[in-house]
Amino acid sequence: MLTSPKPIAAVASLAALAFEPTLLRKLNQLGPRYTSYPTADRFSDVFGAEAYEQAVAGRRAMGARHALSLYLHIPFCDTVCYYCACNKVISKNLGKAAHYLTYLKREIAMQAALFQGMNRVEQLHFGGGTPTYLSDRQMSDLTAHLHQHFQFAPDQLGEYSIEVDPRTVTPKRIVTLRRQGFNRLSLGVQDFDHAVQKAVNRIQAEEDTLRIIDAARFAGFRSISIDLIYGLPKQSLTSIAQTLDKVIAAAPDRIAIYNYAHMPHLFKPQRRIAGDDLPTPASKIDMLFLCIRRLTEAGYIYIGMDHFARPEDDLAIAQRQGRLHRNFQGYSTHAEADLVSCGVSAISAVGASYSQNEKTLEAYYQRLDQQQLPIARGIKLSMDDLLRRLIIQRLMCHFELSLASIEMAHPVKFAAYFAKELAQLKLLETDGLLLLEDDWISVTMKGRLLIRNICMVFDRYLGTAKEPLRYSKTI
């Protein structure tokens, strides 16, 4: 079966997203963000270190050809931001980080031994927490340890990124990070408005942020990314518009604008946020529309979900070339790479498996003291999981799906295998979210903001959970 020509609607450039507040309110529901499929709430403690080692052995037996993506989780922060839902440890005791690093380096050595002979790294990301909680000396020691155990692609080929807190780093520290091998920088801003910052316990002067951006450009960082959040307490269309003005003037290469999900029953710091201070659902939709309109007018490409990038940025190029990927860091390049993650709570994706480390420091240390990889749970993907993961990835990253390509890669007849799903998609087609044709599913401009809803149709696990779902609203 040959693939028919791509529908004209699917190849049209993204000049603007169709925006219908009534439709967004109608379809706004709880749903996954699909940084993985199956999602992390489907992982099981039946999958442990032995199953992970088998997954790595399987990659070796297949003659693994692709470089690795490496993630390190540094969980420490010295203050708590009330909106935060990350796995973190709040402490001003720097000795805790020193103790953690002894174990982290032990895990890195164990992972490197597993991947011996296929351990070339082309992507590295330090997340947290606040990775720059580590001192210059600790960071130098850790990066040297990484280079001792893994092979790294040259600077001009590799993507080596780190998240920094502009409140706690200096321009000198930024220069040092570049010398330590990082070439991409991500800065948390959230909102420049002082009332909003006070409400979430994150006071961050605009001058500090701009100073760090200038230092990163001086030091030769290839890409600078800024994170914003809409839906925070005390936030308004006026405050977010002023923040957008300042961010656009700073001209970062990438911008991520996340929807604040208020779930105080799950995340204790959020209990310090007064519900009455939160914007209404209608106001949040207006904020989202404002962000998309302003950023696209400023020349940024809407990548999907909450990501924007300049046309010349690697993320936008990867999307144009069909190489865009989605993982636990959001949208990414290097779709073919296995993700090896080290640190407390970190999630790896190797071959047809996902695995997650222990979520508490105590359990993490205990596993390593027993000379075991600190894997607490995971999942081995079935053929059906792999098929649905591929479909969801393509829809999330490229807003279209060639049915013929699925049939060539998997022994299924799409119309028969997904008959129930196609019936559900027809209802979304009635709402104008997508076009169903003989060989293609094409997401419309109206549907791109509701891509999570479309992907949920292919999620066979939804509705089967025995416990309440931990998802945010799709808008």
For the annotated binding site for [4Fe-4S] cluster, the residues are 77, 81, 84
DSSP letters of 333-355? S-TTPEEEEESTT-EEE-SSEEE
> Could you tell me the two tokens for 25?
């309110």
- Amino acid making up residue 259: N
Taking the C-alpha atoms of residue 262 and residue 85, their distance in angstroms, rounded to an integer, is: 9
Nearest to 89 by CA among 73, 103, 75: 75
Residue stretches of the annotated binding site = 71, 77, 81, 83-85, 128-130, 163, 190, 202, 227, 261, 347
Residue stretches of the annotated binding site for S-adenosyl-L-methionine = 71, 83-85, 128-130, 163, 190, 202, 227, 261, 347
- Please name the residue ranges forming H helices in 343-440: 361-369, 383-398, 403-409, 414-417, 419-430
Taking the C-alpha atoms of residue 201 and residue 274, their distance in angstroms, rounded to an integer, is: 13
Q: Are 473 and 261 in contact (CB under 8 A)?
A: yes
The enclosing H or E element of 307 equals strand 307-309
Q: Which position has the token pair 């701009």?
A: 210
Q: Are 276 and 263 in contact (CB under 8 A)?
A: no
Cα-Cα-Cα-Cα dihedral sign, residues 391, 458, 23, 25: negative
Distance of CA 333 to the CA centre of its chain: 12
> Could you tell me the two tokens for 147?
């280079």
Three-state SS at 41: helix
Q: Are 221 and 193 in contact (CB under 8 A)?
A: no
Taking the C-alpha atoms of residue 443 and residue 451, their distance in angstroms, rounded to an integer, is: 8
Q: Which position has the token pair 């993982």?
A: 327
Nearest to 280 by CA among 307, 257, 262, 303: 262
Name the CA dihedral angle for 205, 198, 264, 188, rounded to a multiple of 10 degrees.
0
* Distance (Å) of CA 380 to CA 6, 38, 218, 248, 467: 34, 10, 45, 43, 21
Cβ-Cβ contacts under 8 Å for 191 (sequence gap 6 or more): 197, 228, 229, 232, 235, 239, 240, 243
Taking the C-alpha atoms of residue 33 and residue 451, their distance in angstroms, rounded to an integer, is: 10
Q: Are 376 and 359 in contact (CB under 8 A)?
A: yes
